[in-house]
Amino acid sequence: MNHDPGSGLEAGQFDMSQFHQVFFEESYEHLRSMEALLLELDLLTFDHEVMNAIFRAAHSIKGSSATFGMQEIADLTHEAENLLDKVRNRELEMTVAMVDTLLEAGDAIRQQLDCRRDGVMSETPDTTALKARLKALADPAAAEFRAPDAQGMAPQSSKITWRIIVPLPGGTLEEKQQAWFLGELRTFGVLDEAPESGRDGALHLRLTTADPVTELPALINFMLSIEGTTVTPVDTAHQAQAVSEAYGLFHAAAAAPVDDNGYGFFDAPALPAIVDAAVAASAPVAASNQSEPVAKPAARKAAEEASIRVSVEKVDQLINLVGELVITQAGLLQNVMGLDAGAHPQLFSSLTDLERHTRDLQESVLGIRMLPISNVFNRFPRMLRDLAAKLGKQVELKTLGEGTELDKGLIEKITDPLTHLVRNALDHGIELPEVRRQVGKPDVGTITLRAAQRGGNIVIEVSDDGGGLRRDKIIAKARERGLAIADQATDTEVWNLIFAPGFSTADAVTDVSGRGVGMDVVKRNILSLGGSVEIDSSAGMGSKVTIRLPLTLAIMDGMSVALGDEVYVLPLASVIESIPLRAEQVRSISGHGNVIEVRQEYLPVLDLRTAFQVQRKADAIDIAVIIEAEGVKTALLVDELVGQQQVVVKNLESNYRRVPSVSGATILGDGRVALILDVNALVKRSRH
C-alpha cells in the first residue's frame, strides 16, 4: 500500500474505519441478545446452551472492539467474559447479583459504543468500579468483600455476624431451593459454618457481612417467604437497632406472594445501594409468549438464522421499483382489454404470466421489510424491571402474538408510542402491592401486550389489570385546564381527554410522569401512520389501549369501485361480498338512517355517493359492498364494481392533507389517482 500523506495512515497500515458501521451493528445485536438471554435466565436451572450463548456474545464484542482499537470496551467486556466463563464451566453458580451486574455492564458497553459511534469520547462513562465488581464476582475468594455505597465501591472495615434460623415445616428444604438460597447468601458475605438442621427442625446458619447490609432480614424474607424465619445480629446494640430499622422499611415484604416453585417474589422499593441490583434483578417481570410454547429463546433463534446485511435505502428503492412495476402491469392489462383474446392468445398468456410473477415478486420484496413485532416487545421486560424497582411495584409482562409481522417502517415509528403506553400502564395503572392487597388483587400486577392481524390491519393492545381510569378525576382536570366536557359525556369522550396536549392526571411531577407530555404525541404519531387509537377502561379492573395500523405502507390488494366518474379503492381484506340491491330492500329507521337485510342480518347502509358528494350515474344499478371492520359489518352503496387489483399505497397526508374516511391514494393503470378508503372510519360513520 502506498503511503498517502493526507490520509493519516503510515505505510503498510490498513484503514479499518470503513468497517465501523458493521462493527457497531453487530455489537448492538450482541448486546440485545445478551440482555434478552440474561433476563430469561432461570437461576435454579443451569442451561449450558444459554450460558454459552451469553458468553459468545460478550466474547464477540471483546474481540471486535480490540480489533478496532476500542480498548475501553474490550477491557470492560473482558471482565464480564471472565465471570461468564467461570459460570459456564460450573466453577461458580450464577446469582441475581451477577445477573444485575452483567446487565449494568451491558448498559455501560452500549454507552461506550454510542460515544465511539458519535465521536464524543468525553462522555465515555467511568467503568472502574464496575470492572472491580465484575472481578470480585468472578473471584470471590481473592476479593475482600466490599459493599458499594452511593459513590461506588467503598471498603468497609466493620462486619456484622448474623444468626439465621429458617423453620422447616417438612423437615428439610428442597435440595435445589437450598443450593440457590445458600448461593445468594454467599454474595453478601461469608457463611462461617455449614448449614445444619437443629433439634427444633430448623435450618441454622451464620453469615458475616459488612455492616451496611442492614436490610438482610427483609431480603431473606423476600427469598423464602417462610413464616417464622428469623435473622438477628449476634451482638451489639447498634446492630440490633439497624435490623429494627430495616424491618420498619420492609415490613410489607413478608407478605410477598410465592410463585409456583415456592420462592417469594421480590418487591422493589427504594433499597440501600448494595441490594438495589439483587432485588431489581429478581423482580417478577418476565416476558412470556402465551400463544404457543417456544423451544428456544427468540434471541438464540435469531442468532442461528443465516442473514445478509442490506441497507434500508436499497430495500426501499427495490420496493419503489416493484410499485412502479405493479402500476405498469396494470396499465398494460387495461390497454389490451379491448383486444380479442382468441386472436392474440400468446399476448394474453404472457400478460397472465407477468401478473403472476409481479405478484410473487411483490410479496417477496415486501417480506424483506416485514419484521416480527417481537423486535418491539422484547425491549419492554428490561424497561419494566427497572421502572418497577423505581416505583416500588411488582409487575409481570405477558406478550401474545409476538410473531405477528409488521412493516419495518411501522416498527420503527410505533416503538416510541408503545414505550410510552407501557410506562403509563405501570405508572398510572398498576397499583402498589399494599393497595392491590387491600382490594383483593394479587401483589403482582399484569401488563399484557397483544398483537394480531385482522383483515388489512395490525391491531396492538396494551392492557393492564390496575385501577383503571378515574372518570371524575379526568373531568376535574379537564375543567381545571379549561376544556369543555359535559357531565353526561360518554366514557369514550372522557377517556379521549387524556390525548389533549399537556393533559396529565399525575398528582406530582416526577422523572416518570406528570408533565403532560406523551399521550398527545402518541395519538399524533399513530394518526400519521394512517392508524387509530382507542381507550377502554373499567374502574378497579384496568385499562386497555387499542392501536390499529395498516399492515404495510407499500402495496396492497384492493377492490376498485366506481362512484359516478370517480374510482375509489377498498382494501380487499375487509370486503366480504357484493350484491345487487333493489330499492325495496332498503328499510328506513326513523331518524337513524337505513338498513338492509342480508341473510336475516340487518346491516347499516352508507351511500358513498352522498358521503363523498359524487353525482350518481343516470343508468347506475345500486350495488351493496359488504365490508367488515372490528367485527362490525356495513353495506356501502356504489355504482359499479371495477375489479380487483394490486395498488401502490401513497401517503396522502404528506403530499396534500389528511382527508376524513380516506387512508391514502394510489395511481391506477390509466394514470388517474384513486383514493383508498379507510374501512374503520366508514364503519363508524355508518353507525353514527
- Give catalytic residue positions: 59, 81, 424
Of 662, 633, 479, 475, residue with least CA distance to 568: 662
Grid cell, residue 113, equals 459504543
Please name the amino acid found at residue 308: I
CA dihedral defined by 536, 540, 541, 542, rounded to 10 degrees? 50
Asked if 675 and 599 touch (Cβ cutoff 8 Å), the reply is no
* Cβ density class 298-310: b for 16+ within 10 Å, e for less: bbbebbeeeeeee
Distance separating alpha carbons of residues 420 and 5, to the nearest angstrom: 51
Q: What number of other Cβ atoms are within 10 A of residue 22's Cβ?
A: 11
Distance separating alpha carbons of residues 61 and 56, to the nearest angstrom: 9
Q: How many residues does the chain have?
A: 688
DSSP 303: H
DSSP states along 494-509: HHGGGGSTT----SS-
User: Phi first, then psi: what are they for 14, rounded to 5°?
Assistant: -120, 135
Asked if 116 and 110 touch (Cβ cutoff 8 Å), the reply is no
DSSP 122: G
Helix (H/G/I), strand (E/B), else coil: 49 = helix
Of 270, 282, 284, 51, residue with least CA distance to 187: 282
Would you call 322 exposed, middle or buried from its count of C-beta atoms within 10 A (0-12, 13-18, 19+)? Answer: buried
Please name the amino acid found at residue 478: A
Sign of the alpha-carbon dihedral angle for 650, 652, 653, 655: positive
CA atoms within 13 A on the CB side of 298: 20
Q: Which residues contact 614 (CB under 8 A, 6 or more apart)?
A: 563, 564, 566, 608
Of 186, 193, 174, 175, residue with least CA distance to 95: 186
Sign of the alpha-carbon dihedral angle for 585, 590, 594, 598: negative
